[in-house]
Amino acid sequence: MKLKRLIPSVLSLALVFSLAACGGGSGSANTPAQNETTPAQSETTPAQTEGDGSLQRVLDAGKLTIGAEGNWIPYVYNEDGTGELTGFEVEVAKEVAARLGVEAEFQISDSWDPVLAGLDAARYDIVICGVNPNPERQEKYACSIAYAENPYCLVVNGDNTEITSFDDLDGKLCINSPSSAAGQIAQRYGATTADGDLTAAMEQLNTGRADAHVNNVAAVDAYMDAISKRISEIGVVPVIKLNHPQEDAAPLAHALCAGGVPVAEVTFRAAGAAQAIRLMTEACPDMLVGAGTVLTTDQVDQALEAGAKFIVTPGLDPDIVTYCQSKGVPVFPGCTTPTDYHTANKLGLEVLKFFPAEQSGGLAKIKAMSAPFPMFKIMPTGGISLKNLKEYLSSPVVCACGGSYMVTADLIDNHKWDEITALCQQSVAIVKEVRNG
């Protein structure tokens, strides 16, 4: 995905309280309107809420109920693996509640539009979710002083030559909530907007169903890094060849997830790889399903169309790497030599597949290669098993290990789903032992 760091405005972020719903009226918010291109000043007078009783109700209840959108990385989101709500805005909300001496209770929506609607319906006391205190919102709500500045950028597909600036958005389709600050930026430049979060936007851009997306720079950067981070947290990546995807893809996905390994590299060594990726993704939508043994850019397109979240290649092909980068999809090429590593560094890569691991010198060579190339994290694949998994994962250079020992042809063809789950659970136990030990 080509990231356009063109910033038409720096939006001020504020806490928003509902006064209209409490009888405060439209004149209660006395914060001066902010120009979108001018940061809010710290001496701005905060909105006054005296007389409406909202603060006393919060104190009497002993809790502050907060509305937010829950899939906005890195601001408000659920941490993978734990489900714990985290992010910058979550920290702000908890601090506000702590200073009031009450508990913070979150009510989370899966998109932006219901957030302010919930405030209007008095389902919560406050919204803390990157709210831009524009004049219309200040007329209706009480807004705090702005506590942050939020630069926005434009994202388009890497092969899109029509959109080179925000001025080119006229008549284009942007995947942004129409009522959000980002959606309003897009509309101001003449774009049509359709509701969708960052993940949906990226998928639609990759498949040519949308033209652009406007979002916070930090959120886009976090999205780009999220796949590698999540794979590292899981620690093991099953490498799968599916000969009968229609029959085996869904139960295999469920077996892996049941074993605590919600990730898979589906290799293009089998003719039905794209179908397998699609079926596994449909069966377990939260699972990270990627494509392996990718040898051509056509296979990259097939994989992305099927829903692949990452690409793995057996060797380092700069054309495939740059093509994946233009599509905004993480790519992990096979690298085993100093020349490979040097080229990977020039291409801006951070995570490499070391393949075939055991046959190429194993952990000893991985450690030796890390001396001149300390910038890389390594995902060894080839010859990994339960016997040596702990040894590999114990190295700080290794972020995760790929292997087929838990998804062998015998296990899949004979539908031994419980055994696959058990092997995944054993692998997860080793990951936890190493990471927590």
- pLDDT, tens digit (0-9, with 9 covering 90-100), for 82-98: 668 999 899 999 999 99
Q: Looking at the 3D structure of the chain, how many domains does it have?
A: 3
Report, as residue numbers or ranges, the catalytic residues: 265, 353
Give a yes or no: residue 2 inside a domain.
no
Q: In sequence order, what DSSP letters do the residues of 311-378 get, joined into one string?
A: EEESS--HHHHHHHHHHT--EEEB--SHHHHHHHHHTT--EEEETTTGGGTHHHHHHHHHTT-TT-EE
User: Among 98, 121, 148, where does a domain finish?
Assistant: 148
Q: Which two tokens stand for residue 238?
A: 């099953």
Is residue 183 assigned to a domain?
A: yes
Contact at 8 Å (CB) between 232 and 399? yes
pTM above 0.85, yes or no: no
Q: Residue 202: inside a domain, yes or no?
A: yes
Are residue 264 and residue 183 in the same domain, yes or no? no
Element (H, E) at 2: strand 2-4
> Could you list the residue range(s) of the whole structural domain that residue 393 is in?
229-436
Classify residue 3: in a domain, yes or no.
no
| Residues 170 and 285 placed together within one structural domain of the fold | no
Percent of the chain's residues with pLDDT above 70: 88
Quick: pLDDT tens for 159-215: 788 998 899 999 999 999 998 889 999 999 999 999 988 888 988 888 889 999 999
Rg of the chain over all Cα atoms, to the nearest angstrom:
24
